[in-house]
Amino acid sequence: MAAGAPVALRSPLRWIPSWLRPGWNRLPGHRPRPAVRGRPVALRDGSRVLIRQVRPADAPLLADGFARLSDKSRRMRFLARKDQLSAAELRYFTDVDHHDHEALGALDQADGRGVGVARYVRDAEDPHAAEIAVTIVDDWQGRGLGTELLTRLSGRARSEGVHRFTALVAEDNMAMAGLLRKMSASLVGRSPGTAEYEITLMPPGKSTAPPAVGLCQDRVRTPC
């Protein structure tokens, strides 16, 4: 899933504490909502995927997708070397409430394997802001899947009261920075090796067109 929170805040999309349990990041009063059925989508190269909300049972699919990422793609996602996902991380990434933490997954309709995920996590201190992340397995990058996922994620976020996305990008990822600028993202901060962007979401019913975004890696790394 290229995302970020204020520079001083350790993002839940990158930093998974050992004491993590399902639901730790949910705001009080919100129970997990049932995931909705998927929607088939044809990508620009003719390949077809099913995009749907992630479910707890998707942990094996997520683990399989992570195993198919290159070392570079993993580094772009976590801004550090990452060799595997722990059981707690898999639980965190799949046991989402679809309100404060939303995740949309894409499945290859040909074989049912997971090929991409986009997610947001609401800021616990600012309920109108959320960090985004998009990850596409390497052999599915460049097909427009990141754009499809993020467009749908933006709609979900608006419907749940999120007005602003934040995104943390590797400083040397010029392609991704360019894509963020195309969707009117503002550069709001820098830290060693990274740049932070902010994206304003139009309220439901006021958006004139879906955002022209191509995010291929979580922590927005490469164009798709």
Is the per-residue pLDDT at 67 higher than 70?
yes
Separation between Cα atoms, residue 198 and residue 97, nearest integer Å: 24
Whether 209 has a pLDDT exceeding 60, the answer reads no
Q: Reduced to 3 states, what is the DSSP secondary structure of residue 175?
A: helix
Could you tell me where the DSSP H helices lie in 35-100? Answer: 59-67, 71-78, 87-94
CA distance 176 to 195: 11
pLDDT over 80 (residue 204): no
State which H helix or E strand residue 158 sits in: helix 145-159
What is the tens place of the pLDDT at every residue in 171-186? 876 656 766 676 677 8
Q: What is the pLDDT of residues 115-151, one digit of tens each?
A: 999 899 999 999 999 998 888 899 998 888 888 888 8
**Average per-residue pLDDT for the chain:** 78
* pLDDT above 80 for 2: no
Q: Please give the Cα distance from 94 to 91 (Å, whole number).
A: 5
Which 8-state DSSP code applies to residue 35?
P
Coil/strand/helix, residue 102: strand
Higher pLDDT, 182 or 5: 182
Tokens linked to 148: 């499809």
Angle between helices 59-67 and 87-94 (to 10 degrees): 120
**Domains defined along the chain, listed by start:** 39-200 (3.40.630.30)
Within 13 Å and on the Cβ side, how many CA atoms surround 15? 6
Percent of the chain past pLDDT 70, that is, above it, reads 70
Q: Which of 140, 103, 121 has its CA nearest to residue 222?
A: 140
Entry pTM: 0.77
